[in-house]
Structures are given as structure tokens and as C-alpha cells.
């Protein structure tokens, strides 16, 4: 049996006036998603547990079959595994964004999608000038890493930069977390630590503001990566291997270090697709091609596409629609055509979390899934979009499923379908 899970990051949304009350998913032409919904079974999934921040880290860990309440330690350490940053016992890994600071405001959380080549030059300067604080590691585009050797840093509260675009930087700096040890002595230590790391972020502005790479970007009409933003910190997680937990050989296909990092910890094969960028221009067809080839040696493939999420953060309705249509046509279309050559297969599509255009950030609302295997019993869903799946869900006896239970449901779905049963 072969399994493929296609994750359209941030794909679902809310009704928009610009689309006459429809969502981007409703507006997009998605015949292949609709095929899966109409001929398979659909439902609702809670990928972000109550009380946890609605990030792609938590949500994708859920989809891959791991309870984030049990295993999640932070976004930074997950990405560390992808980029080869070795963490010691007391190390804390921070996600490190290049941002654009303008007049004290966080003007852009991704520095105009600065290129990896440009970012490498900035990372080198940071390590040369600010090495006394810790070490910076190069990731992809605006997504990088900072390792700090002090386990108490995990008690600080940080803010995702995409949540505070246009707001004063001063109001969202590192601070003592609500769950931190409240003793006077510890609070003083943490306050000093927060002050030190916030100082580092401001010092990065001094290093990067006049950097030749940024001066060239400004001359070319691009936003500079003139400051770093530290967030998503945590220690190295302890995760059981996927093969031991599910008795399957799995793989990931993505352009995003976070997903590769989760895959590394789980012992999954991270399949490199040359044109996978983690942005609008990612090679959708390449992802489908490499997935079909990888199924010769693997049992399960997670295909992750970042583009809809990037469009959501940018507030770009039409890029989000295009990203959804490309997932449908260039990935699902090719999979639906190619998978029947396998003896048996099951195919699922879902987002990890919503990234609504109107608010430009993630929410923790339940998300719709659709899964299909040839010969399965279909439910009453007609199309793959938010209102259609919610309607059939409300009319059924199904319950919202905890995110980490989705994978077991999917893996057992073909077996239950043979008996003519749904879920």
C-alpha cells in the first residue's frame, strides 16, 4: 500500500468581500480536490491543540502523527535539524528572520523575500561582528537560525514576526514568559537575558543597515534585510522514529527547512527537488514527479507546499488562488494520473492551518481534509472547500479529530473502506 499526503500550507481562509463572499479555495478551479472530496471521505481536523500557538511547526507535527503537546519544544530546534546545526545539551535554537525595520516599525517579516545568496553574506557579517552572543546558521531566503548556549532562554516569550507586521518593534521584543519560574532571582536572570538578546537584535541593525548587500537591494528598489528577529526558541526535541512508530518508510518533499527538520528528527527521507523554493515560484510539477518516483522505495510521502501560506501573509488574494490551483493541477492532477500504476494507494489533501487574507496570519480553527482510495465509500461532500465540507460534516455523525490522530485514520482508511465503512 502506498500513501500520499498533500499539505497546502495555510490554504483555507474566510469569506472575502473581494470574492463576493467566497473564499480563495471556493474561487479557485480545483477539479482534482473536488474529485477526492466527492469520491472519498472528508472531515474536520484540529491540528493546533487548545492553548498552543497556531504555527506550521505545531500543525505539521500533528499531521505527521505526533502529539505536539507531548513532543513540541519550539520551532527553532526543528529547523536546526534541517540545516545541520548541531545542538549541545544546554543549547537553545531560535528561528532567526531577516526583517525590514523602518522608523522603528516591523515593516516586512521576510525582508522582501531576500535571496539565500544575499542572506549568506549577511549571516557571515553577523558571525564576524556579533560572535560573542552565539552562532548564526544559514537557512533559506529569510529563514535562518541562531544558537544560544543557555537553557534558561527557553523560558522567554517571543513573538512570530508575521503576527506584528506594521507594529512598533519595541512592543514585541523578547520578554519573560508566563510559564517561567516566578521566583525573584529567576525573574531577574530572565529579564537580564531578554535584555541581552534584545540588545543583539538592535545591534544587528547596526551591522546590517549599511551592509553593501542591503545597499544594493535598496538601490534596486527592494526591501533590505536590515535587522534580525529572534523567535520560536526551544531545546532539542526527543521524537520517536517514524518507522518505529508506524512501521512505514516515509519521506518529505518541501522547500521549507521547518518541514525538512521535522522529517530529519523522524528519520524520514528529505527528498530534494531542485526547483522547490518555499515560495510562489516553487516547482509544483517537480514535487509530483519526485513523489511518484520516491514511492518505488517508500511507503508514504508528505508533499508540503508553502505558497498559499506566503500569499495569506502577504494579503494577496490572487496569488493564493493561483497557488491553490497549481497544487490542484500540477500536483494532485499528476498524482491522480500516476498513482493507479501502484497496486494500492490512498491520497489525502489538507492544509495545516488557516492563514486568512484579512488578518495575514495563522489561526487555530479546525481545517478540512479529504482522503480517497479506489473503491472507497464516498460521503455526502460534493466539493473540496470550506462550506461544502463543513455542511456535510455537520449533517454527519463525525467528530472533529485531534490532529495527531489523522495519520492513523488515514492509514486505516483503505482497510475500513474495503469493508464498506467510513472511518
Query: What tens digit of pLDDT does each residue of 97-146 get?
Result: 999 999 999 999 999 999 999 999 999 999 999 999 999 999 999 999 99
Residue 380 has pLDDT above 60, yes or no: yes
* Distance separating alpha carbons of residues 275 and 283, to the nearest angstrom: 5
Domain boundary, last residue among 209, 234, 259: 234
Domain boundary, last residue among 179, 205, 234: 234
**In the numeric block, which cell numbers belong to residue 256?**
521549507
CATH for 51: 3.40.720.10
Q: What are phi and psi of 6, to 5 degrees?
A: -105, 120
Q: Quick one: average pLDDT of 235-249?
A: 97
In a domain, 423, yes or no: no
- Count: domains in the chain: 2
Beta strand ranges found along 178-316 (DSSP E): 227-234, 250-253, 269-270, 300-305
Torsion angle in degrees (nearest 10) through CA of 111, 117, 118, 120: 100
In a domain, 74, yes or no: no
Q: Quick one: average pLDDT of 306-329?
A: 97
The pLDDT value recorded for residue 199 is 98
In a domain, 11, yes or no: yes
The pLDDT value recorded for residue 420 is 37
**Structure confidence by residue, pLDDT tens digits, 141-172:** 999 999 999 999 999 999 999 999 999 999 99
Cα 294–Cα 299–Cα 305 angle in degrees, nearest 5: 60
To the question of pTM greater than 0.85 for the whole model, the response is yes
Same domain, 402 and 286: yes
Same domain, 265 and 188: no
The pLDDT value recorded for residue 422 is 40
Same domain, 177 and 56: no
Same domain, 246 and 145: no
Q: Quick one: average pLDDT of 272-295?
A: 96
In a domain, 331, yes or no: yes
Same domain, 60 and 157: no
Same domain, 204 and 124: yes
8 Å CB contact between 309 and 361: no
Print the domain residue range for 83: 79-234
Domain boundary, last residue among 234, 268, 283: 234
Same domain, 55 and 166: no
In a domain, 227, yes or no: yes
Residue 322 has pLDDT above 70, yes or no: yes
Same domain, 395 and 334: yes
* Distance separating alpha carbons of residues 367 and 365, to the nearest angstrom: 6
Q: Which residue has the higher pLDDT, 180 or 202?
A: 202
Same domain, 181 and 230: yes
Element (H, E) at 347: strand 345-350
What mean pLDDT value characterizes the chain?
95
The pLDDT value recorded for residue 415 is 67
* Distance separating alpha carbons of residues 414 and 2, to the nearest angstrom: 10
8 Å CB contact between 302 and 262: no
In a domain, 135, yes or no: yes
Same domain, 13 and 123: no
Same domain, 61 and 94: no
In a domain, 283, yes or no: yes
Same domain, 303 and 164: no
Q: In what order do the strands lie in the sheet with 269-270?
A: 269-270, 250-253, 300-305, 2-8, 345-350, 367-372, 41-46, 401-402
* Distance separating alpha carbons of residues 367 and 405, to the nearest angstrom: 14
**DSSP state, 236?**
P
Amino acid at each position: 500500500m502506498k500513501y500520499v499526503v498533500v499539505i497546502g500550507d495555510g490554504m483555507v481562509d474566510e469569506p472575502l468581500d473581494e470574492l463576493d463572499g467566497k473564499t480563495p479555495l471556493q474561487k479557485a478551479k480545483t477539479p482534482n480536490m473536488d474529485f477526492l472530496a466527492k469520491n472519498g471521505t472528508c472531515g474536520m481536523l484540529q491540528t493546533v491543540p487548545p492553548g498552543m500557538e497556531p504555527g506550521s511547526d505545531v500543525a505539521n507535527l500533528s499531521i505527521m502523527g505526533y502529539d505536539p503537546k507531548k513532543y513540541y519544544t519550539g520551532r527553532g530546534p526543528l529547523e536546526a535539524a534541517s540545516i545541520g546545526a548541531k545542538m549541545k545539551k544546554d543549547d537553545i535554537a531560535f528561528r532567526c528572520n531577516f526583517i525590514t525595520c523602518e522608523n522603528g516599525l516591523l515593516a516586512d517579516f521576510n525582508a522582501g523575500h531576500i535571496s539565500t545568496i544575499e542572506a549568506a553574506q549577511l549571516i557571515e557579517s553577523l558571525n564576524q561582528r556579533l560572535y560573542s552572543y552565539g552562532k548564526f546558521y544559514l537557512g533559506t531566503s529569510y529563514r535562518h537560525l541562531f544558537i544560544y548556549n543557555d537553557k534558561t532562554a527557553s523560558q522567554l516569550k517571543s513573538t512570530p514576526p508575521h503576527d506584528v507586521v506594521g507594529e512598533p518593534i519595541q512592543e514585541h521584543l523578547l520578554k519573560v514568559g508566563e510559564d517561567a519560574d516566578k521566583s525573584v532571582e529567576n525573574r531577574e536572570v530572565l529579564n537580564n537575558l531578554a535584555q541581552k538578546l534584545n540588545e543583539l537584535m538592535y545591534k544587528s541593525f547596526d551591522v546590517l543597515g549599511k551592509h553593501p548587500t542591503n545597499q544594493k537591494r535598496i538601490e534596486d528598489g527592494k526591501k533590505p534585510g536590515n535587522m534580525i528577529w529572534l523567535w520560536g526558541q526551544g531545546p532539542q526535541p526527543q521524537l520517536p522514529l517514524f518507522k518505529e512508530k508506524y512501521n512505514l518508510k516515509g519521506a518529505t518533499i518541501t522547500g521549507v527547512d521547518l518541514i525538512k527538520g521535522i522529517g530529519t528528527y523522524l528519520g524520514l527521507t528529505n527528498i530534494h527537488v531542485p526547483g522547490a523554493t518555499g515560495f510562489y515560484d516553487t516547482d509544483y510539477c517537480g514535487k509530483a514527479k519526485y513523489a511518484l518516483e520516491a514511492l518505488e522505495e517508500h511507503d508514504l510521502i508528505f508533499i508540503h507546499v508553502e505558497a498559499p501560506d506566503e500569499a495569506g501573509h502577504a494579503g494577496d488574494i490572487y496569488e493564493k488562488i493561483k497557488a491553490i490551483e497549481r497544487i490542484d493541477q500540477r500536483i494532485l492532477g499528476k498524482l491522480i494520473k500516476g498513482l493507479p500504476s501502484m497496486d494500492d494507494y490512498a491520497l489525502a489533501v489538507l492544509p495545516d492551518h488557516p492563514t486568512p487574507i484579512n488578518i495575514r496570519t495563522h489561526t487555530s480553527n479546525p481545517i478540512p481534509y479529504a482522503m480517497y482510495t479506489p473503491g472507497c465509500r464516498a460521503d455526502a461532500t460534493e466539493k473540496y472547500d470550506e462550506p461544502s465540507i463543513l455542511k456535510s460534516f455537520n449533517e454527519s455523525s463525525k467528530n472533529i479529530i485531534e490532529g495527531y490522530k489523522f495519520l492513523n485514520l488515514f492509514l486505516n482508511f483503505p482497510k475500513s473502506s474495503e469493508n464498506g465503512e467510513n472511518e
